[in-house]
Amino acid sequence: MKKGTRIMSLLAAMLVTGQAGAQDRLPVTLPTQQDSRLQQVETSPRVWNGVTVSPEGRIFASLTQSEGAGPQLVEVKNGQLEAWPDEEWNRWDAQHPSQHFLHVNALRFGPDGDLWVMDAGNKGIGTGDKAVEEGAKLVRIDIHSRKVVASYLLKAPTLKAESYLDDVRFNGDFAYITDPGAVGLVVLNLKSGQSWRVLDNHPLSIDHQPIYADGKKLFLRDGREKRVGLDQLEVSPDGKWLYYQAIPGPMARIETRYLNDASLSGDEVARHAQKFVDTWSTGGTAIDADGNLYASDINTRAIKRITPQGEVSTVVQDPRLVWIDAMWISQGALWMPSAQINRTPATTGGKPSTVEYPVKLYRLNLPLQPSPRDHH
């Protein structure tokens, strides 16, 4: 090869390499100015991925296990974590999977005032781990007695080998559960205990693009792109619509009457799904009594509002809002846990953690009320 040709080849290789590197980043201007409306209300020595607040103001959180084994469901008091409902439930026991948490991924107060906890039944999405029979469960806890008053075990064929039951919302007798592991939606009849799957691998369920946070693409520990399908979901205040999306968007919606009818075929249900709004890489969502959706933008450290008509505006943007995950609305405020998940080895290709401890919970007072689907 001639010297000039060799130099041209090297230049071409450098250009290709540069392009590949550029694709791992997006041009993003992160906020530098703090918003004075933002109030810090709690801290945690461990990474959390969701909070919920009782009518009396008690704060509960789910923990990601990204720092290694530890409590999964906790009550947070002055920066201290108390295992809930007790230490035993937070100690995994493969011999009795239905009575111990394997991987709590979501929690929320239901319309009944009880604490509902979603155990994913799997340790990760796309990590090669398989769902554990009787590990995947929706657990209902009376916070006054600290007693588990109901537990719904999700089993095959609703539970698939790759299932990772992610989050839950309520609508009368029904609970809707996202499954980004096997990419679909689980419908659970809380009265009968019957469950079924819909929207499996639907074009509006799967992930179409990478996840970006703070301008950087996310990678699994083994170096593969982190891809997460159907993840966030919210029910409209009148119970008519279920909104849902893969982490990178777009947001879709479907009328719940099609989800609630177990006699409909999967193809028939799928026909009624419709794209709603082009969204962004989202850590968590919430919905208010007027049907406005709130979706965090983990790429720009912002919270955006989406009206029922699909109009988008920015509610708050602040340098402290690093990966806002599952949010909560109560007491005229939006509660936002800064999870910093994009700083953990699970999303940086195994690089050492750069999480800044303690992680924080913020509150933003807004003229809003919670959806009746979330409160009694």
Q: Tell me the per-residue pLDDT of 81-126, one tens digit each, with 9 for 90 and over.
A: 999 999 999 999 999 999 999 999 999 999 999 999 999 999 988 8
Rounded to an integer, what distance in angstroms lies between the CA atom of residue 331 and that of residue 41? 13
Look at residue 4 and tell me whether its pLDDT is greater than 80. no
pLDDT at position 15 is: 33
Token readout for 276 is: 């709603």
Query: Quick one: average pLDDT of 233-258?
Result: 98
Q: Which helix (H) or strand (E) holds 312?
A: strand 312-317
Q: Tokens 């919670």 correspond to what residue?
A: 370
Q: What percent of the chain has pLDDT over 70?
A: 94
Burial of residue 180 (number of CB atoms within 10 Å: 0-12, 13-18, 19+): buried
pLDDT at position 14 is: 34
pLDDT at position 373 is: 85
Look at residue 341 and tell me whether its pLDDT is greater than 60. yes
> How many residues are listed for the chain in this entry?
376
pLDDT at position 137 is: 98
pLDDT at position 211 is: 96
pLDDT at position 232 is: 97
Look at residue 3 and tell me whether its pLDDT is greater than 80. no
DSSP 370: B
pLDDT band at residue 247, thresholds of 50, 70 and 90? very high
Token readout for 337 is: 């846990």
Largest CA distance in the chain: 81
Query: Quick one: average pLDDT of 184-191?
Result: 98
Name residues whose C-beta falls within 8 Å of residue 319's C-beta, 6 or more positions apart in sequence.
30, 31, 32, 33, 34, 301
Domain positions in the chain are 38-365
Q: Tokens 């041209």 correspond to what residue?
A: 8
pLDDT at position 164 is: 97
Look at residue 2 and tell me whether its pLDDT is greater than 70. no
Look at residue 16 and tell me whether its pLDDT is greater than 80. no
Token readout for 282 is: 């989202």
Query: Quick one: average pLDDT of 174-198?
Result: 97
pLDDT at position 173 is: 96
pLDDT at position 255 is: 98
Query: Quick one: average pLDDT of 259-264?
Result: 98
Burial of residue 24 (number of CB atoms within 10 Å: 0-12, 13-18, 19+): middle
* One CATH from 2.10.77.10, 1.10.3730.10, 2.120.10.30, 3.40.50.10860 for 38-365: 2.120.10.30
Please give the radius of gyration of the chain, using alpha carbons only, rounded to the nearest integer.
21
Q: Which amino acid is at 211?
A: I
Query: Quick one: average pLDDT of 218-229?
Result: 93
Token readout for 271 is: 């026909």
pLDDT band at residue 17, thresholds of 50, 70 and 90? very low
Query: Quick one: average pLDDT of 179-208?
Result: 97
Mean pLDDT rounded to a whole number for the chain: 92
Query: Quick one: average pLDDT of 52-75?
Result: 93
Q: Which amino acid is at 170?
A: F
Look at residue 9 and tell me whether its pLDDT is greater than 50. no
DSSP 298: T
